[in-house]
Chains A and B, each alone.
Chain A
Amino acid sequence: MLYVIQTALELGFMYALVAMALFLSYRVLDIADLTTDGGFVLGAAASATIAAMGHPVVAVFAALFAGAAAGFVTAFLQTRLGVPPILAGIVTNTGLYTVNLMVMGWSSNVSLLKQETLFTMLRATGIGGSWYKLMLAAGITILMGCLLVWFLGTRLGLSIRATGDNTEMVRASSINPVFTISVGLSVANAMTALSGAIVGQYQKSADINSGTGIVVIGLACLIIGETVFGRRSVGRNVVAAMAGSIVYRFLYAIILKTSIVPIECLKLVTAIVVALAIASPSLRDWAALEKRKIHSDKRGGR
């Protein structure tokens, strides 16, 4: 039982980076960034390949850099070349499939069996006892969360927030939206790739298909978190993304244990949950309108 909780927390913290990245792109910049799936694998691939060469720490930084580059490509497509934002993400994502294969040496997976990873390095120091994995996952995610909150309070961060909030105002106040969108998407995808990098070393492998549906799962985490914690301030939003990710992994563990939902159906269930959550404002409006129609019928028939 303890093992299940531990694993759920570890995964929750590691995947929280994706939810935080989506908070930045989807909520702050108001762009549905579909680079996420490929960016996650890119991070895992870079991380596993370089860790396999014996440099697990360098691997993480390489993944961050690679993710930022992927985000920049998406931003470039939409800001400079006029590709619609959603399509820009899909185009990059498609291209990344080949890039990811290339990073893994034209193989569809890379395994780290005996090589050192961040996790084995920490275990060797003996810090944290049996909780060392959780310590590392939580440490990195909380650090990134703090950095993100700090970043969004700087002048550059404020400019990025304004870009998503009111583009017209941004152009009238000497901020270049091309620049802010580029920086925002680069940072978001660097975080996504970081998530992939940590997960890759945690699972001691990177797989070309490990990113499928990550963007929807990330959104589900974000929405779960927002429902529980609200969306009032930036700090609260980042905490909500983390908490949402942990809750999602607990639900995942429960479903896995109890088989309430067959595990093969989990992605479908996740997709439905996300669709319903995003649709909820219009569903609410529709319900209210129907109610009014019924009421007016009654009054008319009196």
Chain B
Amino acid sequence: MLRLEHIKKTFNPGTVNEKCAIQELSLHLKPGDFATIIGSNGAGKSTMLHAIAGGFYVDEGAIYLDGENITFMEEYKRSRVIGRLFQDPLKGTAPHMTIEENLALAFLRASKGSIPFSRISKKDKEVFREQLALLEMGLEDRMKQPVGLLSGGQRQALTLLMATMVPPKLLLLDEHTAALDPGTAAKVLELTEKIIEKNQTTCLMVTHNMHQALELGNRTLMMDGGRIILDVEGEEREKMTVSDLLAKFQSFAGKELDNDRILLS
């Protein structure tokens, strides 16, 4: 489904700020894989997602999605098949536009080739209403309100809906619940699981919660220094505990897992 082959990225090459963010990284996700990613600060987790989404082009190596080489495909074109959620709930929605208008934008992905001058139809609105109802936040009755009036959690739930309403081939989640309060975070996470389960979406999720890293999905990746240092799935993963994970990290990376936000419980 997704194949990263020996990708490499150095930021600010040739300067004092030179940073090799990703080195010789390879990864293969099977269709329907839901992998969680953990790692220390600056391990390259977000950079890897950014590389896949097309925020920059990699220096070396190749990226394949569904058999297609997307290494030099422009970001907006990749967005047709890759859904994305950031940590900051404000990044995924347009605050001065209504809920309905935001959803219509997300719906554009599905309507490739449709007339650019078409408007939001009654039928579209019905679909939006149904989908919003699934969030159980009462947003279906506020479709004419600007998104700027919603809370962070509501905005993130809306972003999740926008990213998945037209099921993407790949969903990238970059600590998308980290900035929310615990209750809302749990709610958004539950929705995420439900939607991924329903669509059988291939998904990569960065988290700083060690427990989640083992509980969610079917695969756990651990990153350090721009590499994937651990990749577990199946039976091995089921038996694993948080302390096993920490011990593994230490033995592979030769240091303590150093992430200032890490949650061990």
Question: Complex: how many Å from CA A169 to CA B101?
Answer: 13
Question: Complex: how many Å from CA A169 to CA B102?
Answer: 10
A174-B80, A175-B76, A176-B76 as given contacts; A166 in contact with B91, CB under 8 Å: yes
A155-B114, A158-B101 as given contacts; A171 in contact with B119, CB under 8 Å: no
A158 and B97: CB pair below 8 A? yes
Chain B residues, Cβ within 8 Å of A156: 116-117
Question: Complex: how many Å from CA A169 to CA B76?
Answer: 10
Question: Complex: how many Å from CA A153 to CA B53?
Answer: 29
B125 beta carbon closer than 8 Å to chain A: no
* Chain A facing B: main interface SS: helix
Question: Complex: how many Å from CA A151 to CA B115?
Answer: 13
Chain A residues, Cβ within 8 Å of B74: 176
B116 and A175: CB pair below 8 A? no
A158 and B105: CB pair below 8 A? yes
Chain B residues, Cβ within 8 Å of A174: 76-77, 79-80, 108-109
Contact with B along A99-143 (1 / 0, CB 8 A): 000000000000000000000000000000000000000000000
Total contacts A to B, CB within 8 angstroms? Answer: 79
Contact with B along A246-284 (1 / 0, CB 8 A): 000000000000000000000000000000000000000
Contact with B along A139-162 (1 / 0, CB 8 A): 000000000000101111011011
Chain A residues, Cβ within 8 Å of B115: 155
Question: Complex: how many Å from CA A133 to CA B114?
Answer: 41
* Chain B facing A: main interface SS: loop
B109 and A154: CB pair below 8 A? no
Count of chain A residues with a beta carbon within 8 Å of a chain B beta carbon:
21
Chain A residues, Cβ within 8 Å of B80: 174
Q: Give the Cβ gap from B154 to chain A, nearest Cβ, in Å.
A: 15
Chain A residues, Cβ within 8 Å of B175: none
Name the one of B76, B91, B108 contacting A155, with C-beta atoms under 8 angstroms: B108
Chain B residues, Cβ within 8 Å of A172: 53, 79, 84, 91-92, 163
Question: Complex: how many Å from CA A156 to CA B111?
Answer: 12
Interface centre among B102, B105, B106, B109 (most CB of A within 10 A): B105
What residue of chain A has the Cβ atom nearest to residue B104's Cβ? A158
Other than A173-B106, A174-B108, give 18 A-B pairs with Cβ distance below 8 A: A153-B120, A154-B118, A154-B119, A155-B119, A159-B105, A161-B97, A161-B101, A162-B94, A165-B97, A166-B95, A169-B94, A170-B76, A170-B105, A171-B76, A172-B163, A174-B79, A175-B76, A175-B79
Interface residues of A (CB under 8 A from B): 151, 153-156, 158-159, 161-162, 165-166, 168-177
